[in-house]
A and B are shown apart, each in its own frame.
Chain A
């Protein structure tokens, strides 16, 4: 009798939790689904449904301003990602394999970067890249306005994105390395592999999934970033999020939804690749979650 009653109660708790989780998922997906659906609306106002059309997708190719900003976004992401992966990867490996008195101080630094409100970084970088360039001439060259031909006006934005992204990559790589036995690297050394060779043939492949996940996080962070970009963008270097943000107060046109849907698909594809790679390297779902959310 009591067993029966208890069983019923358990079910009720479970049902409640299922309902709650499903409701949360609906909540999380609702706006995304709406963007995708409304990118097909046959109406100039994005917020009103007016029948089905694919017109906005075909019109994207004609909107040169929008295409330029999307291209700029991808360029910043393409520059910022490798820099973040290298900086974060080196720091993460050092934290996991060469711990010492310096570890704590460095981690405090990384933590501060992650928790500082973005607006504070943004204004700091604006002062750095705009005011100091004029006032301190010897700084102007290498650190503020380097004549790197490909990056040019996107340089400050790239730096701003790398600060956050590399901190996240650092934590991901550190978490992964900490979970790996050092014996493989020691075995390589025992077999007379010089340190450099051990690094490239053992350490790097082991840490590759973390670098990949970190790289994807950096890439999406760059595609996504508004605040820092807003403060350090230079003429002609506007990005897609800045373009979208500029339109927010006026009437939203469905071409924004169409462009967003395409970017969404690109992100999903990249995410699927990373999850597949992590799966292949034998990660559990928890490992994947910890990796994808920044080693939380």
Chain B
């Protein structure tokens, strides 16, 4: 077999060999035309000027920074601060709520039941986003079931007043993005071999120590994926806030939307969108740098000097 395969090439050599990415070429072209170019246009438009009196026309002949100056008004700062507070709090809440769930499913539940439980978790994620959000209006309604029930059992002496507040927005975003945190965490924790935890136990580590020094560090990729998957879409989301927050539910995304859909000022809307993207990238970078620093410090503190062990290991 070996000798023949060297001698006879399997297929006749073609004159032209297609480059490796040929199959991906249509997708690539699609993304350039309908993603990269439109997003690039937004960046260019943010330096433009609205043609006065027109319905959404933008003058690009003198590119100017004026729109960025327009964007930074007091309303903008209030909304931006609220957006970031809700996004960061929401992301952290998702992590705190989601981690034990993912850990339970991946580590404690017998494999036979894992699939069922996972299916049960996936169903809400696959149901309509807007329907799920509007459903909270029924749940939190001042004249609804819970409001009446809370009053019946004496928990409250007036109607439930959660709807159209920041609390409702916070609840809504945690609800909508929680599955995006649980799934990557579950996949990472599920891939950890139980052998690792057993080894840690055999080496004398207790439960808490095993969790803190083995399970938790090894789940880091899942945590990072979950944080990104939740934080980024959450900070651009304004639908949840519009549905549940009422007048209190103004997110940065809504500012962009209203400039485009109502004020017809695409230049200003683009500038706000660029600033929003900048804020997202900045927050992620800050967290990434902080995480790297913490990791470096922990590694320093825990460093095991192999040279010290060399003689003993050789002895074994």
Contacts and interface: CB of A to CB of B under 8 A. Distances in A.
Interface of A: 9-10, 13-14, 16-18, 20-21, 24-25, 27-32, 34-35, 38, 45-49, 86-88, 90-91, 93-95, 98-100, 102, 106, 109-110, 112-113, 115-128, 130-132, 143, 159-160, 162-163, 166-167, 170, 189-190, 220, 223-224, 226-227, 230-231, 241, 244-245, 248, 252, 256-257, 260, 263-264, 267-268, 271, 275, 284-286, 288-290, 292-293, 296
A118 to B, nearest CB: 6
Nearest to A34: B138
Contacts of A170: 27
B303 interface: no
B313 interface: no
A120 B232 CA distance: 12
Interface residues of B, number: 97
Contacts of B139: 30-31, 34
Contact of B138 (A16, A17, A38, A90): A38
A143 B141 CA distance: 46
B58 A99 contact: no
Nearest to A95: B24
B34 A125 contact: yes
Interface in B162-204: 175, 178-179, 183-184, 186-187, 190-191
Given A14-B108, A28-B124, A100-B21, A113 B236 contact: no
A267 B134 contact: no
B130 A121 contact: no
Contacts of B260: 123, 126, 231
A240 B159 CA distance: 32
Given A88-B27, A94-B23, A113-B31, 13 more contacts: A21-B100, A24-B101, A31-B138, A47-B143, A94-B22, A100-B20, A124-B35, A224-B129, A227-B239, A231-B261, A260-B128, A286-B186, A286-B191
Given A28-B124, A32-B124, A123-B269, A293 B183 contact: yes
Contacts, number: 276
B104 A17 contact: yes
A267 B127 CA distance: 7
The main secondary structure of chain A at its interface with chain B is helix
Contacts of A252: 134, 137-138
B235 A117 contact: yes
A127 B41 contact: yes
Q: Which 5 A-B pairs have the closest CB atoms?
A: A117-B236, A124-B38, A285-B115, A31-B135, A47-B141
Contacts of A94: 20-24
Contacts of A166: 27, 30
B38 A290 contact: no
Interface of B: 10-11, 20-24, 26-28, 30-31, 33-39, 41-42, 45, 56-58, 97-98, 100-101, 103-105, 108, 111, 114-115, 117-139, 141, 143-145, 175, 178-179, 183-184, 186-187, 190-191, 207, 225, 228-229, 232-233, 235-239, 242-243, 253, 256-257, 260-261, 266, 269-270, 273, 276-277, 280
Contacts of A95: 24
A257 to B, nearest CB: 8
Nearest to B30: A87
B100 A20 contact: yes
A35 B138 contact: yes
B138 A47 contact: yes
